[in-house]
């Protein structure tokens, strides 16, 4: 019986989109992952339909040989915060690469919202001949309800726009967090300490903290520990919370806490584990989540280019969202699998 991409994806623990790209030798997929996918495909006897391969090769050749238009990736940010975070830089790189493969030039713009018309931004976009827009929630979200959408195809990453509702793509944060916490419980951890800075929770519409709360609710055998949320993570408050609740695994962003724990005489991972919610921004090796920055950028480009080819402009009547799952990455800050 012929095997499908879904079968390979389940065996590899990857999304169907990642498997498809790996079998196409896309540079958006890491070489070890491409090798793993090809090995599993061979083991399962998967044969790529020749017509699909021919069509994709034709599209790539066409894109490389012709220029089709201009796209803009608009980073919605705050005054003094225009510099891209490492995760966003990876996302931009993936978007640029995919845009070039499809025959489009991608401009990256920082935008500080001042009103709901965004007239100056509209003028810049029109003057550059840009027809496709990708909005990125770099530091904040924005209301575009009075923006003139009539000339543009558009999409957003992680719901950067509060109004109107646009097509969107990004990580399925709830499913990804649930997957990670379930695997950590499988490593024997029972006291989960979740900490987060307020602005990160707000940017993602509380999807991370919501997923953590839901996980604790459906896992009654685990010790319930209230999350620690601070505007900026501070050592005294963190250590006070840690001493009171004594978690055996910490889940969050800030790797500084590893040094704070070692100053308390604790060893990582022997005495306590640490799992990083976004490895793309980790300065040290950790176990954690790869949020597939480059792939997120590529998928957003594909969404807006599809709209351009289908002559779709304006805010959509029926917005669609594309979700991908983040990847679990083992590392030296948690117990090894047994």
What band does 1 get if pLDDT is binned at 50, 70 and 90?
Answer: very low
| pLDDT over 50 at 242, yes or no | yes
Q: Where are the domains of the chain?
A: 5-64, 173-291
The burial class, CB within 10 Å (0-12 / 13-18 / 19+), for 161 is buried
pLDDT digits (tens, 9 = 90+) for 267-315: 999 999 999 999 988 999 999 999 999 999 999 999 999 999 999 999 9
Token pair 């997120």: residue: 296
| pLDDT over 50 at 53, yes or no | yes
Greater confidence (5 vs 127) lies with: 127
Q: Which top CATH class is 5-64?
A: mainly alpha
pLDDT digits (tens, 9 = 90+) for 313-325: 999 999 999 999 9
Looking at residue 59, what is its pLDDT?
Answer: 54
Looking at residue 167, what is its pLDDT?
Answer: 96
Inter-residue contact 4 to 44 (CB < 8 Å) = no
| Average pLDDT rounded to a whole number, residues 141-167 | 94
The dihedral through the CA atoms of 99, 205, 218, 194 has a sign that is: positive
Q: What are the beta bridge partners of residue 107?
A: 72
| pLDDT over 70 at 84, yes or no | yes
CATH code that applies to domain 173-291: 3.40.50.2300
Looking at residue 21, what is its pLDDT?
Answer: 82
pLDDT-wise least confident of 19-28, 78-87, 179-188: 19-28
Looking at residue 220, what is its pLDDT?
Answer: 83
pTM, rounded to two decimals: 0.80
Q: What is the mean pLDDT of the chain?
A: 90
Domain 5-64 shares a fold with domain 173-291: no
Looking at residue 2, what is its pLDDT?
Answer: 46
3-state secondary structure of 188: coil
pLDDT digits (tens, 9 = 90+) for 120-129: 999 999 999 9
Longest dimension (CA), the chain: 63
pLDDT digits (tens, 9 = 90+) for 19-51: 888 887 777 788 888 889 889 888 888 876 654
Q: Token pair for residue 274?
A: 């640490």
């Amino acid at each position: 019986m012929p095997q499908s991409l879904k079968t390979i994806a389940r065996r590899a623990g990857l999304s169907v989109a990642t498997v498809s790209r790996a079998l196409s030798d896309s540079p958006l997929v890491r070489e070890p992952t491409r090798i793993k996918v090809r090995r599993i495909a061979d083991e399962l006897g998967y044969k790529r339909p020749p017509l699909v391969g021919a069509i994709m090769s034709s599209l790539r050749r066409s894109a490389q040989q012709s220029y089709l238009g201009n796209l803009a990736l608009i980073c919605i940010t705050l005054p003094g915060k225009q510099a891209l975070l490492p995760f966003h830089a990876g996302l931009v790189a993936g978007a640029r690469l995919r845009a070039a493969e499809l025959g489009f030039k991608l401009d990256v713009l920082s935008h500080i919202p001042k009103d709901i018309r965004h007239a100056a931004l509209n003028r810049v976009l029109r003057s550059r001949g840009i027809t496709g827009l990708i909005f990125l929630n770099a530091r904040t979200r924005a209301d575009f309800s009075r923006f003139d959408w009539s000339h543009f195809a558009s999409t957003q990453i992680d719901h950067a726009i509060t109004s109107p509702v646009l097509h969107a793509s990004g990580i399925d944060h709830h499913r990804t967090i649930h997957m990670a916490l379930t695997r950590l419980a499988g490593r024997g951890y029972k006291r989960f300490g979740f900490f987060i800075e307020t602005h990160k929770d707000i940017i993602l519409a509380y999807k991370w903290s919501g997923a953590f709360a839901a996980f604790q609710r459906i896992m009654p055998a685990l010790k319930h520990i209230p999350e620690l949320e601070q505007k900026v993570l501070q050592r005294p408050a963190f250590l006070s919370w840690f001493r009171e609740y004594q978690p055996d695994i910490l889940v969050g962003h800030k790797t500084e806490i590893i040094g704070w724990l070692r100053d308390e005489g604790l060893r990582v991972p022997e005495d306590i584990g640490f799992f990083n919610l976004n490895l793309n921004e980790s300065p040290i090796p950790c176990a954690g989540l790869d949020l597939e920055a480059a792939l997120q950028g590529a998928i957003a480009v594909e969404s807006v280019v599809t709209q351009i080819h289908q002559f779709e402009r304006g805010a959509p009547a029926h917005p669609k969202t594309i979700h991908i799952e983040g990847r679990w990455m083992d590392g030296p800050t948690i117990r090894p699998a047994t």
